[in-house]
Amino acid sequence: MAMVQSDLVAGQKLRALLVGFKDRSGLTYEKLAELASCSRGTAENYIAKAGHRRSDGILASLLSVLGVTRDERDEAMRLHRLNRSCSTDPATVEWAASAAEADCTVWEMEHFTPAEATVHPAITRSQGLASALNVVSPPPSYVLRDHDALLHADITAAARGELAAMIALRGGPSTGKTRSLFEVVHALGPRWAVVRPRSASALRGLATSGLLHRRRCVLWLNELQAFLGPNGTGLSLDVLRDLFAVPGERDGGKRRQRQPLVVVATLWPEKLRDTTTAGEQVSDNRDLLVTSNQWVRWHDVPRDFSRRERDKARALAASDGRLRAALDNPDRIGFAQTLAGGHELLQHYLTVPNYMDQLVLDAAGDARRLGHTSPLSLPMLRAIATALWREERGQTSPPSGWFDTAIAHASQPLRSTRGVQALIPLDNADLHNAEAEEVTYELADYLEHYLRYDRRTHTVTDAVWDALRQHATRTVDIVNLARGAINRGHFQHGEALYRAAGTPEALLEFARWRAARPGQEQEAERIYREAIATGHPDALVAFARWLESHPGREDETEQVYREAIAAGVPAARIEFAWWLREQMDREDETELVYWDAVAAGDPSALLAFASWLELQPGREVETEHFYRGAVAAGLPDARTAFAVWLASQPGREGETEQVYRDAIVARDLMAQMAFISWMSEQPCREDDTERAYQDGIAAGYLGVLLAFAMWLAKQPGRDVEIEGVFRDAIATGHRHAFSSFVFWLGEQPGRDDDIESVYRDYIASGDPEAYTSFAGWLAKQPDRKEETERAYQDAIATGDPDAYTEFAEWLAEQPGREDDTERVYRDHIATGHPYALTAFAEWLGKQPRREEDRARLLRSGLIG
């Protein structure tokens, strides 16, 4: 440990020495980066960041540009060599090695700064918002948010080991999510470490990496979308369960006590929708983030500060001009957005000196909205911006030197040398080759959000798709772009991108998409067989599932399932058994396949076999045996399934209740709701039922809330309590409390005024779905068509993608508005929503003389 401390001191001395050289030189970071042929971010990190991982070559280049003497250079390189050994994590050598092996970045809590957490830097303004002078200071005093009490309670419970769940903040860009999460996590104290995986695959491997649970850890999943993906490639319920279920390691034959784990995340609502759209390939995301479960605890962050929050900010503003400027908010963009430089970013984009400067930012925004999530390379930005130029100017070339000027403008710090930037240069050192650094950029999230909306219906030309295909290098980006192209009706580009991905998983997804298109059966089969030829373990089972849907091909289906079993494909026997269950007079073969699966050691076979046995008359003893085996094997939800079966056995109520309670303790996904449903059917147990509902609400199950209200509605004279349940849920921030409340109010006669009032509060909460819900209600009210249309347009403006479809469906019911209806459908398709093409095709099918248009749309996508 003394060596580590010595190395840390060397790092601090090196930083002080380099900062002194830089100040003496008078060079800005921009000029220093230019002369040393590196990015501005690299130059700043090398000079000003004590623990940064420096390479010999780049450091030597910077020292040369700084004009140091030979002695000064020797001293800097000596400190650099001393500092190397602590460049990962200073806690212990063993833990640092585990972090590197697990592909994670780790910090001691005291070294986890707002900058490391990627909290937006706040801008200090003098003489009001119009001042041209701005300097970067430490973050302003934190204003306690309304959601902080519940957030702190969850973090505290997780830190005590009392809560096993991912604690996630959901809200728009620059609303204060990351700062809020940073503050409550930082309060845990110096005994904690922060862990951030560098990829989704690194996150999936954490449970078995040996890194977690050896010390108190916060798993930091800011920008959660980076850790999501198609089934089997990102975070899922199973992965989350495994993270919390990692057993303690053994030390000298004795099991160590497992250390608490706190998992935190942030996510935009738009990106939540993007990652949970329908489709077999994203069901992991839907199960994790959309279904009501105890493994994710959501906390919503409104777009702007509430009245209570503003009062708290005023009390702090006397000593901080930044808070005063944010409270004034003359730009009307929100308190947190003002602090984060939202106004500067937007004005920087809207008031560019040269047209090409704006096109580079449009290029970055288009790459993001079309599905490219990785850092943006210079060649990609150049190619897309050039395509955008030629979209308007024809096959001419932009002015000489335009790109360097545009990049310099886009990455210019606003109002200070370290202010916010529209394009943020990233330091992308290759961990295996410190000399190979490539400049890439991130788009400021406030500007990304603005461009996503502003350009949401902008037509994407062939040249833009070609540029993206040519310069996207990561498979996840290429597949995301393929989906984006197909959802927007650009089928040819979608196919080319799937091919460019070059992975078996991409081929399988491509085959599924082909199979869903009319008249594409032969092509789909050919692609499935291509995927099988790659040896991917899931390809045979996926092909067999497809064959199942084609009558007359039962023999081929069975043969492919048997090939999958022979190839050792996981779960192939279970899939085969499920198929056999549907075939006539094949019970004996079905049972034999289940026995084979159990004998092969597939733990899921126990539960699947039990579910089949319970349908066979007179086999109750065997059914119970296999349910108990599934419970003993620790299969997720096995206790709940066993309890549901026990409930159907006469005279076993006591055992049923105990198994349900065990399932709740074990955090089975549906245990609480299933228990309540069973309890409500038991005679003379109304008090126990109500207590079970209260327990479910306290555990954060939104579905329980509505069910409790509906149960209360059956109890005479309890309307006041029902309304109280809903209003309490709204006050505590339950996301669906408003919609559930208006649903109940709608069943009460004479409450229309109350319904509208609740909708107005719902809209004021900042939920983008509020306007859509309100518009749907208005549409049912007589003589309110103008208000209905305005509400749908407001819903679209707030970013709810489902508003397009509902608006189009409403327009379709209005006589003479066919052209408006089609325009809205086409705008919806341009946004990339996965249902938009299908909805448009369905509408076309109902229009006279549009059958050929519909067929062409489904066959070839949008043309022109």
The 3-state secondary structure of 334-385, one letter per residue? CHHHHHCCHHHHHHHHHCCCCHHHHHHHHHHHHHHHHCCCCCEEHHHHHHHH
The pLDDT assigned to 336 comes to: 67
The pLDDT assigned to 397 comes to: 86
pLDDT surpasses 80 at 106:
yes
Q: How far apart are CA 73 and CA 82, in angstroms?
A: 14
pLDDT surpasses 70 at 13:
yes
Residue of 235, 241, 237, 294 whose CA lies nearest to 267: 235
Q: How far apart are CA 151 and CA 585, in angstroms?
A: 56
pLDDT band with cut points at 50, 70 and 90 for residue 84: low
Query: Taking a C-beta distance cutoff of 8 angstroms, is the pair 223, 120 a contact?
Result: no
pLDDT band with cut points at 50, 70 and 90 for residue 136: very low
The pLDDT assigned to 626 comes to: 95
pLDDT band with cut points at 50, 70 and 90 for residue 59: confident
Query: Taking a C-beta distance cutoff of 8 angstroms, is the pair 219, 243 a contact?
Result: yes
HEC per residue, 80-130: HHHHHHHCCCCCCHHHHHHHHHCCEEEEEHHHCCCCCCCCCCCEEECCCCC
The pLDDT assigned to 435 comes to: 41
The pLDDT assigned to 784 comes to: 94
pLDDT surpasses 50 at 740:
yes
Q: Which of 397-401, 693-697, 808-812 has the highest mean pLDDT?
A: 808-812
pLDDT surpasses 70 at 134:
no
Residue of 457, 479, 283, 282 whose CA lies nearest to 369: 457
Query: Is the pLDDT higher at 160 or at 10?
Result: 160
The pLDDT assigned to 9 comes to: 64
Q: How many CB atoms lie within 10 A of CB 835?
A: 17
pLDDT surpasses 50 at 159:
yes
The β-bridge relationship of strands 193-197 and 104-108 is: antiparallel
Residue 170 is which amino acid? R
Q: How far apart are CA 696 and CA 673, in angstroms?
A: 8
Per-residue pLDDT of 431-481, as tens digits, reads: 334 344 478 999 988 888 889 888 988 989 999 999 999 999 988 899 999
Query: Is the pLDDT higher at 6 or at 482?
Result: 482
Q: How many CB atoms lie within 10 A of CB 497?
A: 27
The pLDDT assigned to 731 comes to: 76
Per-residue pLDDT of 598-642, as tens digits, reads: 999 888 899 999 999 999 999 999 999 999 999 998 888 899 999
The pLDDT assigned to 2 comes to: 34
- Which position has the token pair 């800097």? 76
Q: What is the mean pLDDT of residues 821-845?
A: 92
Q: How far apart are CA 694 and CA 633, in angstroms?
A: 31
Q: Out of 82-91, 117-126, 688-697, pick the least confident.
A: 82-91
The mean pLDDT of the chain is: 83
Residue of 400, 368, 396 whose CA lies nearest to 464: 368
Portion of the chain with pLDDT greater than 90, in percent:
36
Distances (CA, A) of 98 to 227, 432, 560, 820, 845: 20, 17, 42, 59, 59
pLDDT surpasses 60 at 331:
no
Q: Out of 200-209, 413-422, 487-496, pick the least confident.
A: 413-422
Residue of 616, 681, 618, 619 whose CA lies nearest to 644: 681
Torsion of CA 348, 354, 360, 363, to 10 degrees: 100
Query: Is the pLDDT higher at 34 or at 625?
Result: 625
Which residues are CB-contacts of 830 (< 8 A; sequence separation ≥ 6)?
A: 456, 457, 458, 459, 460, 488
The pLDDT assigned to 614 comes to: 94
Per-residue pLDDT of 224-249, as tens digits, reads: 988 887 777 889 888 888 888 755 44
Three-class secondary structure of residue 51 per DSSP? coil
In eight-state DSSP terms, residue 520 is: -
Q: How far apart are CA 701 and CA 584, in angstroms?
A: 41
Per-residue pLDDT of 642-677, as tens digits, reads: 999 999 999 999 999 999 999 988 878 788 889 998
Query: Is the pLDDT higher at 171 or at 428?
Result: 171
The pLDDT assigned to 51 comes to: 61
pLDDT band with cut points at 50, 70 and 90 for residue 695: confident
Instruction: Dump the DSSP string for 706-769.
Output: HHHHHHHHTSTT-HHHHHHHHHHHHHTT-TTHHHHHHHHHHTSTT-HHHHHHHHHHHHHTT-TT
pLDDT surpasses 90 at 520:
no
The values of phi and psi at residue 193, to 5°, are -120, 155
pLDDT surpasses 50 at 126:
no
Query: Is the pLDDT higher at 357 or at 323?
Result: 357
Structure tokens at 54: 């420096």
Three-class secondary structure of residue 419 per DSSP? coil
Q: How far apart are CA 525 and CA 862, in angstroms?
A: 24
In eight-state DSSP terms, residue 246 is: P
Query: Is the pLDDT higher at 50 or at 253?
Result: 50
Distinct helix (H) and strand (E) counts, the chain: 45, 13
Q: What is the mean pLDDT of residues 532-552?
A: 89
Which residues are CB-contacts of 632 (< 8 A; sequence separation ≥ 6)?
A: none
**Crossing angle of helices 719-731/737-746, nearest 10°?**
160
Query: Taking a C-beta distance cutoff of 8 angstroms, is the pair 164, 158 a contact?
Result: yes
Report angle CA 172, 39, 59 to the nearest 5 degrees.
130
Query: Is the pLDDT higher at 54 or at 164?
Result: 164
Which residues are CB-contacts of 76 (< 8 A; sequence separation ≥ 6)?
A: 14, 17, 18, 21, 59, 63, 68
Report angle CA 256, 261, 264 to the nearest 5 degrees.
170
Q: How far apart are CA 854 and CA 202, in angstroms?
A: 44
Query: Taking a C-beta distance cutoff of 8 angstroms, is the pair 821, 843 a contact?
Result: yes
The values of phi and psi at residue 750, to 5°, are 75, 20
The pLDDT assigned to 800 comes to: 82
Torsion of CA 51, 57, 61, 64, to 10 degrees: 90
Q: What is the mean pLDDT of residues 75-84?
A: 76
pLDDT surpasses 60 at 489:
yes
**Crossing angle of helices 554-566/539-548, nearest 10°?**
160
The pLDDT assigned to 844 comes to: 93
Radius of gyration, alpha carbons of the chain? 29
Query: Is the pLDDT higher at 407 or at 125?
Result: 407
Residue 345 is which amino acid? L
The pLDDT assigned to 811 comes to: 96
